[in-house]
Amino acid sequence: MTPETLLLLGAGAISGGFINGLAGFGTALFALGFWLQFIPPPQAVAIVVVVSAVTGVQGVWIVRHDIGAQPARLMRFLLPALIGTPIGVQLLSWIDAWMLKLTIAGFMLLFGGFFILRRTLPKFERHTPLLDSIVGFFGGVLGGAASLSGALPTMWCAMRPWAKQETRAVLQPFNVIILFLTAALLAFRGVYAQQTLIYLAVALPITMLSAQAGIYVFRHISDLQFRRLLIGMMFLSGILLSARELL
C-alpha cells in the first residue's frame, strides 16, 4: 500500500466516519470521494457499506428508545427498501467510477441546497404511508448501488415535523440494516477479495473513532447548529468533488 493510497484511505475514513456520527448517514457521500480515486466502484462500495453499517450501530444505540417509541414509522421505510436493495446491487456492476463520483457530488450539492430551502418547502404533518414506502424503496436501490441509502429518506424526513432524535430514529436503523444487507449481497457476489479486505481492515477502526467525534458534536449542538454544519459540509465537499472531476 503506497503512502498516497494510505492517505486517501485514511482521509475518506475520517470524513465519512465523522459525518456518520454527526448525522446518522453520509459515510458514502464523503468517503467515496476519496476512495474512488484508487479503488474500482464495486470494491469501494463494498468497503463503504461495511464501515457505514458497523459505524452506524454506535448511532443506533443513542436513539434506541426513540426507535422503540415509533417502530411502525421505521417499518414503512424499511420493508420496501429490502426489496429495492438487490436491484441496486445489480445496478452497481454497470456504474463506472467517474459517473459514481459525479452522482455523489450531485447529491452533496442537492443536500446542501435542500437544507437551505427547507423552511420554504411544504411540511407534511399528516401520515403518508404510501410516500414513505416509495422513498424507502428508492433508498434501498441507492443503498445497493452506491451506499447512498440515507439520501432520499433524509430529505423526506426533514420535511416532517420531527425533532432530530425522531428523525435519526428512522434514518440510523434504516441505513444500518440496508447496508448490512448490501454487504451480504456483495459478499455473495465475491466482491470481498484479499485487497478489499486489507483496505477494509485499515479503514474500519479509523471510521469508528471518527464517528465518536461526530456523535460528540451531535450531542452538544442545537437543531439550528446541526443544520448549518450539515449544509456547510455538504456544499463544500460537493463543490470540491465536482470541480476535481469536471475541470
Number of domains in the chain: 1
pLDDT, position 244? 67
Could you read off the pLDDT tens digit of each residue along the chain, which spans 247 residues? 788 899 999 999 999 889 878 876 778 878 888 898 888 888 998 999 999 888 878 778 777 787 877 888 899 999 999 999 999 999 888 877 777 778 877 877 877 777 677 666 666 777 888 999 999 999 999 889 888 888 888 888 877 877 777 888 888 899 899 999 999 999 999 999 999 999 999 999 999 999 889 888 888 888 777 777 777 777 777 787 777 667 6
pLDDT, position 178? 94
CA atoms within 13 A on the CB side of 190: 0
Cell digits of residue 92? 452497481
Within 10 angstroms of residue 2's Cβ, the number of other Cβ atoms is 8
pLDDT, position 61? 78
pLDDT, position 247? 60
Report how far residue 192's alpha carbon sits from residue 49's, in angstroms, rounded to the nearest whole number.
12
Cell digits of residue 97? 467510477
pLDDT, position 94? 84
pLDDT, position 204? 94
pLDDT, position 6? 92
Range of the domain at 21: 3-246
Q: Please identify which residue in the block is written with the cell numbers 411502525.
A: 72
- Spell out the SS3 assignment of the chain: CCHHHHHHHHHHHHHHHHHHHHHCCCHHHHHHHHHCCCCCHHHHHHHHHHHHHHHHHHHHHHCHHHHHHCHHHHHHHHHHHHHHHHHHHHHHCCCCHHHHHHHHHHHHHHHHHHHHHHHHCCCCCCCCHHHHHHHHHHHHHHHHHHCCCCHHHHHHHHCCCCCHHHHHHHHHHHHHHHHHHHHHHHHHCCCCCHHHHHHHHHHHHHHHHHHHHHHHHHHCCCHHHHHHHHHHHHHHHHHHHHHHHHC
Report how far residue 227's alpha carbon sits from residue 244's, in angstroms, rounded to the nearest whole number.
26
Report how far residue 201's alpha carbon sits from residue 16's, in angstroms, rounded to the nearest whole number.
15
The answer to whether the CB of 175 falls within 8 A of the CB of 143 is yes
For residue 109, with 0-12 CB atoms within 10 Å meaning exposed, 13-18 middle and 19 or more buried, which class applies?
A: middle
Cell digits of residue 214? 461526530
